[in-house]
Amino acid sequence: MTAQTNQNQRIVLASRPVGAPLDNNFRLENTDKPVPAKGEVLLRTIYLSLDPYMRGRMSDAKSYADPVAIDEVMVGGTVCQVEVSNNDDFQVGEWVLAYTGWQKYALSDGEGLLKLGTDPAAPSYALGIMGMPGFTAYMGLLDIGEPKPGDTIVVAAATGPVGATVGQIGKLKGCRVVGIAGGEEKCRYAKEELGFDECIDHKAEDFLQQLNNACDKGIDVYYENVGGKVFDAVLPLLNTGARVPLCGLISQYNATSLPEGPDRLSMLMGTLLVKRIKMQGFIIFDDYADRYNEFAADMTVWLQEGKVKYKEQIVEGLDNTVEAFKGLLEGKNFGKLVVKVNQPL
């Protein structure tokens, strides 16, 4: 898996997926390992984060960030070590959080790198529970969801890095937490390990009935990260004054055809109106960058005290990245999906 010392390897976007991404939408390229100029560092990718939002960057539809250009390296958050340094601010072996994408090596002038120290205890956590997914869970739930003790919170993708964190913070705040996940194993984990009150398998035939039973006092906070049939099931259960932080719509990212059925837009807006519901989209670092320290302080304590648990699924090797990402959009991962790209120095 480790590249030759004089070689870089990278995955570029070869064409834009229509529907689910296919292997031929990507191309693995071997190039020369780049050489840092004065003031630059050579970053050795140790961990690459895979996240659902990346599907959006593969499309050229207008979104909150520019799409990845064809033949360009796929973007993504990474945890790297400095392998060569021509920059006095960085020493060889130092760990950093970067955004260098799907490749083994990258150059940086230091701009935008977040230092993680020379011997971090769990460097990959910076891509998950202590990073974007954890921060997204925390701010969306607490700032937009405004959970109160006794509230019923529903969150889908309940064992993913966002959903698992939302649910565990909800429990810490005294709420009843109902998760939704794909398959019995994930549901059992959510209840037994994460402490959710209930977790419903959305593949079950009586999913709707189970959700209704689990939410017999309605839903006060629906943390939305999937959309689609889960949202349709949740909508009629929302209580007056409910809050819907809108964090993602995973189920829609590969969608190309229209759902059938009644006028869902009018149903949504009528429900928001009549029940005085707040629905609010957010993009974590755009909306809440100045509150990262508040999150990090809380989460550090919760992890140390064992009040929040965190599960990773680590895939070995850059050449398994595309397969892992395809699985992510189908819910095949179990825990935060991270690719181990190189061995640490």
Give me the residues that bind a second copy (CB under 8 A), please.
Answer: 56, 62-64, 224, 227, 231, 240, 246-249, 252, 255, 258-259, 262-283, 286-287
88 or 290: whose CB is closer to a second copy? 290
Question: What SS3 string covers the chain?
Answer: CCCCCCEEEEEEECCCCCCCCCHHHEEEEEEECCCCCCCCEEEEEEEEECCCCHHHHCCCCCCCCCCCCCCCECCCCEEEEEEEECCCCCCCCCEEEECCCCECEEEECCCCCEEEECCCCCHHHHHCCCCHHHHHHHHHHHHHHCCCCCCEEEECCCCCHHHHHHHHHHHHCCCEEEEEECCHHHHHHHHHCCCCCEEEECCCCCHHHHHHHHCCCCEEEEEECCCHHHHHHHHHHEEEEEEEEECCCHHHCCCCCCCCCCCHHHHHHHHHHHCCCEEEECCHHHHHHHHHHHHHHHHHHHHHCCCCCCCEEEEECHHHHHHHHHHHHCCCCCCEEEEECCCCC
Report in angstroms how near the CB of residue 7 gets to a second copy at its nearest. 37
Report in angstroms how near the CB of residue 133 gets to a second copy at its nearest. 16
Report in angstroms how near the CB of residue 263 gets to a second copy at its nearest. 4
Quick check: 129 and 161 in contact, CB under 8 A? yes
98 or 166: whose CB is closer to a second copy? 166
64 or 71: whose CB is closer to a second copy? 64
121 or 258: whose CB is closer to a second copy? 258
Report in angstroms how near the CB of residue 237 gets to a second copy at its nearest. 12
Report in angstroms how near the CB of residue 160 gets to a second copy at its nearest. 17
Residues facing residue 8 across a β-bridge: 31
121 or 274: whose CB is closer to a second copy? 274
- Distance between the two ends of the chain, CA-based, in angstroms? 14
164 or 238: whose CB is closer to a second copy? 238
Report in angstroms how near the CB of residue 295 gets to a second copy at its nearest. 18
Classify strands 176-181 and 114-117 as parallel, antiparallel or unpaired.
Answer: unpaired
86 or 280: whose CB is closer to a second copy? 280
How many angstroms separate the Cα of 143 from the Cα of each of 147, 270, 281, 292, 302?
9, 24, 12, 13, 18
Report in angstroms how near the CB of residue 301 gets to a second copy at its nearest. 29
Report in angstroms how near the CB of residue 135 gets to a second copy at its nearest. 15
34 or 227: whose CB is closer to a second copy? 227
> In 3D, which of 33, 40, 140, 121 has the Cα closest to residue 79?
121
208 or 268: whose CB is closer to a second copy? 268
Report in angstroms how near the CB of residue 122 gets to a second copy at its nearest. 30
